[in-house]
Amino acid sequence: MTTTVPEATPLPATMRASVMTGVGQLRIEDRPVPAPGAHQVLVEVAAVGVCGSDVHYYRHGRIGDFVVESPMILGHELSGRIAAVGEAVDPSRIGQRVAVEPQFPCRRCRQCTAGRYNLCPQMKFYATPPIDGAFCRYVIVDTEMAHAVPDSISDDAAALLEPLSVAITTMRKAQVAPGSSILIAGAGPIGVICAQAARAYGAARIVVSDLLASRRAQALRFGATEVLDPAAEDVAALDPQVDAFVDASGAAPAVVSGIRAVGPAGRVVLVGMGADDVTLPVAYIQNMEITLTGVFRYTDTWPAAIHLAASGAVDLDAMVTGRFDLEHVGQALDSDTDPDSLKSIVTPN
């Protein structure tokens, strides 16, 4: 039994969805509106951010071992309104505005019980094959993964709490603290949101490198204290060296030069998607006792993300550079070819 919205606003039986049917291929389909399980909620989607992983699946049909083998709905950065709840969920949640944490961990494995549910081997994640995403009108999610947001946060910003969560995880791993210094390679969406997060966490020096002048200028508007052109300047010779380096580019040369720009006992965090294998300066890492790690999604970041957005410490609305409806999801996915594009938003309704 499912508790639904009041009879005055009944739920439809079907919904429109933008479905990826093959590499570079999308079509609008009618899909059944999913029914929430006992501990789940049904969310009417308000806004969906376009992520680099969506673009990668669309253009290449795979990311590493994750392969699109059947039609799939893309999109995992989303916000909306709770339209129905499962029988074990408080019906007062109906109508609540939420930002969705788009993952379904098993909650029982060693990683989950250790508090690392992002590494759950049984994880089901929106828009990761074969799980459908949010380029549609309705989605279901476990109730605790639907985070209530205040009215001071727009639907667009609530959707972008997901990439902000990646940045928060990155800052935690980089141990960014008041007065620290950080180098970020890549001034795309994740690089820019990391620059904003670094500023919010108190970093005094935020250096961003990018090959494009327009993106370097963009980084300065979003918190960078200085920018570098890696084609004209030796990033590895950065002086003084930084406490932490974040790669948000996925480019092997940027990874190597960034590592060499880190001082003794510094931290390196790899976020960008690039080559599966990169040759690293192992002797430098050893001799400098540098800690190197990666980021795979996030754990318990939404409360911090909501605070940063609501307080104005991070400006997510300013990152939105394009809006598209379901009929133009293909254009949204291709919007990254414009160097001035940061975040595109799809609105399913």
**Is residue 72 domain-shared with residue 170, that is, in the same domain?**
no
Model pLDDT for residues 43-99, shown as the tens digit of each residue: 999 999 999 999 999 999 999 889 999 999 999 999 999 999 999 999 999 999 999
Model pLDDT for residues 5-56, shown as the tens digit of each residue: 344 368 999 999 999 999 999 999 999 999 999 999 999 999 999 999 999 9
Give the structural domain span for 10: 2-160+316-346
**Is residue 96 domain-shared with residue 215, that is, in the same domain?**
no
Model pLDDT for residues 154-179, shown as the tens digit of each residue: 999 999 999 999 999 999 999 999 99
pTM above 0.75, yes or no: yes
Total of domains in the chain: 2
User: Does residue 302 sit within a domain?
Assistant: no
Q: Kindly report the CATH number assigned to the domain that includes residue 190.
A: 3.40.50.720
What are the tokens at 61?
């049909």
User: Does residue 307 sit within a domain?
Assistant: no
Given a contact cutoff of 8 angstroms between Cβ atoms, the answer to whether 254 and 230 are in contact is yes
Neighbours of 241 (CB within 10 A): 17
User: Does residue 309 sit within a domain?
Assistant: no
Helix 302-311, helix 161-174: angle, nearest 10? 110
- Name the burial class of residue 63, with classes exposed (0-12), middle (13-18) and buried (19+) by CB atoms within 10 angstroms of its CB: middle
Spatial separation of the C-alpha atoms in residues 219 and 301, rounded to whole Å: 23
Cβ within 8 Å of residue 48, ≥6 positions away: 75, 76, 77, 78, 133, 134, 135, 159, 345, 346, 347, 348
pLDDT score for 5: 39
